[in-house]
């Protein structure tokens, strides 16, 4: 009878040690603390949920948001697109825990975008503003004489 009780206690302890509750997210670590971009440029921010011991938690869903969509947007996968000059924050949230990166966007100056032959570079930028309006800047072109044109679709 004593042998049967020991086996039952051992089985019972084994079951008690097994937990099905997920480990809580304690913090969300971002790959950058800040970003400096020019209008039209993109950068990827990686978010890693961590537990209280700093161990990465896999299989967790991270959502992204922008503090000001007129300055920078962010995709579901953390790709930040600079829309207009200014500063905003991009926030990653996982299970109610958030971390943010500061994004500073500067305008593209003519000299920075000018090629060796004096021609201007071309850009493509897809934008969605906070009111849901979509805008795509297809190209900015110019010639050495200083003329320029922008085409929007």
Instruction: Please tell me which residue, 118 or 39, carries the higher pLDDT value.
Output: 39
CA separation for the pair 90, 45 (Å, rounded): 9
Q: Give the residue extent of every domain in the chain.
A: 21-107, 109-153
Q: What is the pLDDT of residues 4-56, one digit of tens each?
A: 444 444 444 444 556 667 899 999 999 999 999 999 999 999 999 999 999 99
3-state secondary structure 101-147: EEEEEECCCHHHHECCCCCECCCCEEEECCCCCEEEEEEEEECCCCC
CA separation for the pair 108, 27 (Å, rounded): 35
Q: What is the pLDDT of residues 61-116, one digit of tens each?
A: 999 999 999 999 999 999 999 999 999 999 999 999 999 999 999 998 654 444 55
Enumerate residues 6+ apart whose C-beta is below 8 A from 129: 69, 70, 135
pLDDT recorded at residue 22 = 87
Is 2.60.40.1080 the CATH classification of the domain at 21-107? yes
pLDDT recorded at residue 134 = 61
CA separation for the pair 28, 50 (Å, rounded): 6
Instruction: Please tell me which residue, 119 or 72, carries the higher pLDDT value.
Output: 72
């Amino acid at each position: 009878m004593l042998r049967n009780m020991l086996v039952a206690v051992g089985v019972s302890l084994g079951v008690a040690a097994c937990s099905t509750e997920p480990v809580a997210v304690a913090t969300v670590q971002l790959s950058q603390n800040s970003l400096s971009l020019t209008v039209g440029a993109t950068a990827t921010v990686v978010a890693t949920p961590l537990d209280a011991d700093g161990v990465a938690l896999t299989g967790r869903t991270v959502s992204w948001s922008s503090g000001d969509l007129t300055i920078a947007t962010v995709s579901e996968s953390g790709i930040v697109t600079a829309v207009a000059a200014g500063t905003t924050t991009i926030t990653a949230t996982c299970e109610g825990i958030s971390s943010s990166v500061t994004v500073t966007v500067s305008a593209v100056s003519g000299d920075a975008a000018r090629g060796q032959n004096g021609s201007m570079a071309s850009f493509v930028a897809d934008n969605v503003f906070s009111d849901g309006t979509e805008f795509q800047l297809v190209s900015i072109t110019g010639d050495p004489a200083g003329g320029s044109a922008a085409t929007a679709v």
